[in-house]
Structure 1
Amino acid sequence: MIRVKDVSVSFGSRILFEGVNLSFDQGNRYGLIGANGAGKSTFMKILVGDFEATTGTVTIAPDLRVGVLRQDHYQYDDFTVLDTVLMGHPELWKVMKERERLYALPEMTEEEGMLVGELESTFADMDGYSAEYFAAELLEGLGIPVEKHNDLMSSMIGGFKLRVLLAQVLFGRPDILLLDEPTNHLDLDTIRWLENFLLAHKGTMVIISHDRHFLNTVCTHMVDVDYKQITMFTGNYDYFVAASTLAREQLLADNARNMDKIAELKEFVARFSANKSKAKQATSRQKQIDKIEIQEVRPSSRVAPYIKFTTQQKLGQQVVSLDGINKSFDDLHVLKDVRLDITGGDKVAVIGVNGIGKTTLLNVMLGELTPDAGTVTWGKSAQPSYFAQDHNEVIPKNTTVYEWLRSFDEQADEQTIRSILGRMLFSKNEVHKSTEVLSGGETARLMLAKMLLLQGNVLILDEPTNHLDLESIDALTTALSEFEGSVIFVSHARQLVTDVANRIVELTPTGVVDFVGSYDEYLAKRDALVNV
């Protein structure tokens, strides 16, 4: 399907990867993973054809149709949502437009009539008569209701535009799917739908994702960009972690044994090389040394932050109570009579479709927004600390990493600030980096650093995994699971919700569903009710 031969990429003296030889075979689903900056997006661009490798070639069989998820928000602004999806099958779209043109003619010539007959035959062969139904089904599965299907793309907000573009690439039923972060801007239910769709699709896929559960559910192979190499593993993400860890430990153990053997042989050579009676033995030992191979152990690009949340004071039983909360924006009613009592030890995942009001609920809870009706009451011992979804609103551009963090505790000494930043992977001079040039992952880690410094006993997080790599997400998941206080969080990362939450609050158009238990238990109960 896809053959990668001797591919290398370097920028000056910096090598991303070299000598890559891989085969992506029919029907397999490959997760393309690696730390931020390791080169996975560059490798995907090489597969797509948007970037030329320094050396090597990529070959895709010419008779195969390739679908690429492109995140161009504006390319289709003049088209309707439905037409944008239909354009995902260019050959079918061309036939459809020609049919429309011919049928719109006041009258047809004999030649045009014959052409219509040919087009109808081609249209039927392409399943054209069910095309609009299939496109609509994809859109609904991705959370775009029927009433929006004939709206112009220019009227859709960014996250929903990306859903339409995802529907577009899926509609084409390509032989090869190349997807870069397809779960971005999707809620948990829509991600579940996408997982099932991809599992049923027969084509070959290469997928970049930072969603561990998604990779485990969908992928049959992992393609790892690390150590300036790209290596393929059979199995899902969890299998990759176990296999790669074992392989590296084995490599280090083999090297250690070989180093001990070399030291032993060198000692013999040093002692007896001048001894005529043992000179031949010494020469033999030297030859053995020359044959022992110490394999190169390249440094990994993966570095996980060290996250451990502590509290300044113990949290009591009452955390926060919401009584009859209502909130509207003009004619849009977002929160309707919300009543919640969150207590010590609760780890609450707030879920629901995009736009339902999850961020609004957190902001009302924190006093950032004033409710139209109802009250919010915090427990006397509660000390909330907030991770906002929009980093740009929180971190100004006219300061440095160090100064921004220190502004939250002027009494903190330099060692404390540097220690926290070091744990969040800001080392040495990086602490003086301008906040204006920070990447998405760096801003997310800086906001987590703020929470570590403040030591609140109630952690409130709005989509904290956006921009984080898998290692950082795993570290955050472990830290929140082990945290002794309470956690209230919004996230589309299934693994985070599954591993951390012991209570699920779902916002729905008909009200709030409050379930005590894990997310898996909640899904089982909800699915059982649907199937009754």
Structure 2
Amino acid sequence: MILLECHDLLLRAADRDLLRADLVLRSGWRVGLVGPNGSGKSTLLRTLAGRAQASEGLVSRPPGVEVDLFEQDAAPGQAVDLWSLARAQLGTIRALELELERAYRLALRDPDAGLRYADLLAGFERRGGFDADARLMRDLERVGLSAASWQRPAAEASGGERQRARLVGALVAGADVLLLDEPSNHLDLAGRDWLVERLGAHTGAVLMASHDRALLQRACTHVATIDGGRITLRRGNFDRTTQALADAARSGARRHAERTKRLAELDRMAADLARFGHRAAQVRKRRAGRERAALAADAAAAPPVARDHTTPLRAAATPGARAGATLLRARHLQIPGILDDGAFDLRSGQRVALVGASGSGKSSFLALLAGATAAADPRAHLEWRDGTSVLYLDQVARGLDPERSARAALTDWVSAAQATGALAEAGLPHAVWDRSGSSLSGGERARVALALLTVREADVLILDEPTNDLDLPGIETLEARLTASRAAIVIASHDEALLRALQAEVVTLEAGSLVRYRGGIDGYRRRSRRLEPGADVTPGTVTVPPGGVDATGTDATGTDADADAAIDRERALAAAALEDPLRWSTRDLERWQARREAADDALLDAWERRNHGPAPAPRFRTREAGVSVLADREGDALRVGLEGGPEVLVRRIGAVAHLRPERVEGLVTLPWAWRALCHGAARLAIYLLPVEAVQVSSPVPLAGGPFERHDGDWWVARRAALERSEGWTQGPVAPRRGRRRRRDGPTGRIGRGR
């Protein structure tokens, strides 16, 4: 059933055409609205909700269909507190309730009014009116608004708290058509899980403007993209849309190259024919001119060729630093109410993601690491390796001095020409390059930060919610550049797609302690906790034997029995503390409970490892330079290594795979072995992943195989070139089954390991 549609809708802004839209929303459709900042997403939502007027076109919906709009940063209105603000979104349910009460009183006096009362009662039940308040309470808790905060004055609450309260109210109200503008802003990972669950249970239609790729992937049945002032609706989730756009971009780039080549040929032809005056030459010249005009018109109408967002970040060479060397040793870190006595080490090339609920102290911890704030414990010290350079970008200033311009901030590090090039590449409008940092919007500051990440040389990047205020192209640019970076990265973010692409180790602040999780963001979701070594048994630490528990489940300094005994001691210590609750404060009890759970997890992990035997052999192999190159696939990534030697991680971003070495302290890789590993990794990636090219930064020359030099130390292996060199051709097959690939020669072998 069609719930809302618009035809030939024209939206204008500042005397220019912003967007022309034709769109239909049906029951059960959850449509993600994707487009650059300023493309008209919010204006379209307001127009569909009837809160703004279109210059042309028609918006229509069947009688009785209710439309509700959730906007960003709306004022609290007349709401007294957060509870009232959330409950105010239930306007239709509250109106039905009042009408139901009036109909009930009327039915007591007039039996003929009973039918109307029955109809109203059925509608009230269908909208969930009887349990609306109960659902509101439950969902407020799930987005991190505890009952203690409900009475907080709405005007004094943070913008994030107000937005979460309004969002909960809108989803509990459950209008037939929900129009949501950036609903995941200010939601942590648990809140985003709740949002996906609620959207999936909604039986009406949803149109949601968002830059959250994980949300678009998990929640949407369709994706509407805005490009060139037009909307294109595609069935399927975000990954399918991304693939379709990538295919279209490759086709567009190919047509652009063909057009450019033909235009050059026509220009040469016109120059040659101009030397001849006979009639035939003039006819051919006019014909060539008409063809050139047609090609030029096609070029003007074609969408711009997609930019390459894979420019690597620079990384300063720390004097004496080895791959995997320790850059930071921090001890006795204390943040009142957040962290009691924490320790944190950071190695060269390491990537650490700080995740957790909103308000859990992530920003405070990053500021402490960056030296922007001081620890509360006088014993605290942060020991940086000599010569280590650090770039810290907080959520608000984004590394900008409020009194200085974006151009001036960049020219501290690079030439004026390089600074203007970086600002243009980051998409910052030229008109604001010389404005002070305090006068820039959040989105403009985010783009300055993107430019700073490109020009600053740093060994360590400390980034606090770097995707905030960036549109999807900006987020993809940030992801590509961070993925290609050699710097150590400490990042606080709720962007699952970014954290997954970075393959970052997850650290959380829980019950006054720093807790690490195995397996990146997916391991965090499985609550695959990793216990940290240490001998202190105070409530604020989580401990195992001094050597830790290694990947086989044994004590790093002893046997399985030693590890089990140490974990049993930890469990017994925590259990004894929990049996005497009067001895401890509430906070200390929470810490003891966390220690008990962590010890239980460690015991279970050790048991699982021992009972499931050794890890399986790699599934894929090839040979390069006489050595075996082995690989295992991990989703959109490959882990590739030489037998008994170094490893690399190959991560796919769109149609390009990025090859990154896995740093192991003390391991030296000879140039020939590195070359063999890169050649094998490229071949395996091209045959096992849906990519068109593989790129890697390597000071060791990689020529003589699938790679060709691209720029400086950057090398690229392309699918087409590899397939040609190995004898792959396109051959005909039976009718109605398309075309198949056929291999003509036996050069190069790839297969499953036996």
- Alpha-carbon spacing, 1:301–1:250, altered in 2? closer, same or farther (3 Å): closer
Alignment deviations for residues 312-357 of structure 1 (CA, whole Å, 9 cap, x no partner): 22345112233232222xxxx1222222222222200001111111
Residue of structure 2 aligned with 1:320, choices 299, 303, 328: 328
* CA 305–433 in structure 1, closer or farther in 2 if over 3 Å, else same: farther
Could you tell me whether the CA contact under 8 Å between 2:79 and 2:85 is conserved in 1? no
Q: Normalization by structure 2: what TM-score? A: 0.60
Query: Structure 1 pair 101/458, CA: closer, same or farther in 2 (3 Å)?
Result: farther
In terms of mean alpha carbon deviation, does 255-264 or 311-320 score higher? 255-264
Secondary structure class of the residue paired with 1:153: coil
Q: What residue number does 1:379 align with?
A: 384
1:459 aligns with 2:461: yes
Q: Give the match's secondary structure for 1:337.
A: strand
Matched residue, 1:44: 45
Counterparts of 1:339 and 1:471, CA distance in 2: 37
Residue 512 in structure 1 maps to residue 514 in structure 2:
yes
1:186-225 correspondence to structure 2 within 5 Å: 186-225=187-226
Q: 1:99 to 1:526 in 2, by over 3 A?
A: farther
Q: Tell me the equivalent position of 1:425.
A: 427
Shift of the 447–193 alpha-carbon distance from structure 1 to 2, 3 Å rule, reads same
Q: Give the C-alpha shift of residue 397 in structure 1.
A: 4.7
Supply the distance in 2 between the matched residues of 1:388 and 1:257 (Cα, whole angstroms): 45
The partner residue of 1:493 within 492, 495, 515 is: 495
| Displacement of 1:469 | 1.0
Q: Distance in 2 between matches of 1:149 and 1:365?
A: 33
Q: Could you list the runs of 5+ residues in structure 2 that have no partner in the other structure? A: 530-596, 605-754
Between Structure 1 and Structure 2, the one with more helix by share is 1
| 1:405 equivalenced with 2:410 (yes/no) | yes
1:50 is paired with a residue whose SS is coil
Give the counterpart letter for 1:16 in structure 2: L
| Residue among 1, 4, 28 paired with 1:2 | 4
Q: How many residues of Structure 1 are paired with residues of Structure 2 in the alignment? A: 513
- How far 1:306 sits from its partner (Å)? 6.2
Contact 2:348 2:459 in 1 (8 A): no
Q: 2:482 aligns with which of 480, 483, 486?
A: 480
Matched, 1:310 2:311: no
Determine the structure 2 residue equivalent to 1:72.
Answer: 74
Question: What root-mean-square deviation, in Å, do the aligned CA atoms of Structure 1 and Structure 2 show?
Answer: 4.1
Q: In the alignment, what sits opposite 1:446?
A: 448
Contact kept in structure 1, 2:339 and 2:514, CA below 8 Å: no
Helix, strand or coil at the partner of 1:391? coil
Q: CA deviation at 1:461?
A: 0.2
* Residue identity in the other structure for 1:326: Q
CA contact under 8 A between 1:325 and 1:375: conserved in structure 2?
Answer: yes
Distance of 1:59 and 1:111 partners within structure 2: 40
Partners of 1:303 and 1:471 within 8 A in 2: no
- Between 193-202 and 297-306, report the one with greater CA deviation: 297-306
Task: Quote the Cα distance in structure 2 between the aligned partners of 1:482 and 1:255.
Answer: 27
2:24 paired with 1:23: yes
After superposition, what is the alpha-carbon deviation per residue over 1:402-443, rounded to whole angstroms, capped at 9, x for unaligned? Answer: 12333x44xx43233334333323476653345455332221
What do residues 475-514 of structure 1 show as CA deviations (whole Å, max 9, x unaligned)?
1112222221210010111111111143110112363321
Rate the CA distance shift 1:200–1:460 in 2: closer, same or farther, 3 A.
same
Q: Relative to structure 2, which stretch is displaced further, 206-215 or 250-259?
A: 250-259
User: Contact 2:89 / 2:170 at 8 angstroms: preserved in 1?
Assistant: yes
Q: Which amino acid aligns with 1:363?
A: A
Mark the CA change 1:118 to 1:84 in structure 2 (over 3 Å): closer, same or farther. farther
Amino acid at match of 1:390: V
Q: Which has the higher contact order (CA 8 A, sep 6+)?
A: 1
Deviation at 1:451, TM superposition (A): 3.9
Q: Secondary structure at the match of 1:192?
A: helix
2:328–2:385 Cα contact (<8 Å) kept = no
Q: Does 1:361 align with 2:362?
A: no
Give the drift of 1:112. Answer: 12
Match for residue 183 of structure 2?
Answer: 182
What secondary structure does 1:363 align onto? Answer: helix
Q: Name the TM-score, length of structure 1 as normaliser.
A: 0.83
Tell me if structure 1 keeps the 8 A contact 2:5–2:60: yes
Summarize deviations over 1:35-65 as a string: whole Å, max 9, x none.
1122222222211222211111111222212
Q: 1-side partners of 2:178 and 2:107: how far apart?
A: 41
Q: Alpha-carbon deviation of 1:454?
A: 3.3
Q: What is the distance in 2 between the residues matched to 1:385 and 1:245?
A: 33
Counting aligned pairs with the same residue, the percent is: 25
Please say which of residues 486-495 and 496-505 is displaced more in the overlay.
496-505
- Of the structure 1 ranges 219-228 and 180-189, higher mean CA displacement relative to structure 2 is found in 219-228
Name the SS for the 2:136 alignment partner. helix
Q: Give the corresponding residue for 2:138.
A: 137
- The answer (yes or no) to whether the contact 2:214–2:497 under 8 Å persists in 1 is yes
Q: Which amino acid aligns with 1:460?
A: I
Structure-1 separation of matches of 2:522 and 2:464: 21
Tell me which structure has the larger Cα radius of gyration: 2
Query: Secondary structure of the equivalent of 1:198?
Result: helix
- For residues 318 and 113 of structure 1, the distance between their equivalents in structure 2, rounded to whole angstroms, comes to 83
Structure 2: how far apart are the matches of 1:428 and 1:118? 63
The 2-side partners of 1:124 and 1:29 are apart by 24
Question: Structure 2 counterpart of 1:334, which letter?
Answer: I
Q: Secondary structure at the match of 2:449?
A: helix
Q: Deviations over 1:432-462 (max 9, x none)?
A: 3454553322211212333444311010000
Change (3 A) 1:334 1:126: same
Cα separation, partners in 2 of 1:198 and 1:456, compared to 1, 3 Å: same
Between 134-143 and 373-382, the greater mean CA deviation after superposition:
373-382
